[in-house]
Structure 1
Amino acid sequence: MASQDDRDPRIARISSAIRVIPDFPKKGILFQDITTLLLDIKAFRDTIDLFVERYRGKDISVVAGVEARGFIFGPPIALAIGAKFVPMRKPNKLPGLYSSTFFS
């Protein structure tokens, strides 16, 4: 499958659309800023398409998106593969009933 091949030209396009900010939020960190990716319609679509191509037909019923980037990429992927979307947040950030799990 082409989408899983590192030579897929979409991967280079996506990578070049992500701004790298050195030393943010602290020295030694290379922050991968996706806001520039979101502004590039082709790269954003390619990102979603690569995930959809990889996971369509895998009998996935729920896509869980971890805040905050997961809220951006998760819903369109879930819709495209015919799955539900569940946002995952820190405690006390969503109203109503919720399920929680502790991990380290």
Structure 2
Amino acid sequence: MNYCRLFLLSLILSANATFANAFAADRSPELSYSGYGTAPELKMAIYSIWIAQFGLVGCGFEQWSWIETPTYITGVPETSPICGGSHGYNYYYITKVCATGYVADKS
């Protein structure tokens, strides 16, 4: 299984020596949707970028076709006079990442 591990280091100082006690808290990796937290956030970002780039009015979010697999999300606007002609797919990947402060456990 994949785990992320948080390493905490506590130092205990004594008159004779310094002791290091390291322990780890395990946590499952989280999904990252190309840097976004959820699939709907990524889809809205894809749509917003497309509108900003092409500036088409009248081709709303609801007129898009989405393909979502366990590893990527892609979407294209419908091929219609309002949304324009043939559009290519861009793939936005879904990956597992460790939360801030955690590192991948290689065991």
Comparing both chains, which one has the higher relative contact order based on Cα–Cα distances under 8 Å and sequence gaps of 6 or more?
A: 2
Structure having the higher strand fraction is 2
Q: For the pair shown, which has the larger CA radius of gyration, 1 or 2?
A: 2
TM-score by length of 1: 0.24
TM-score by length of 2: 0.24
Structure having the higher helix fraction is 1
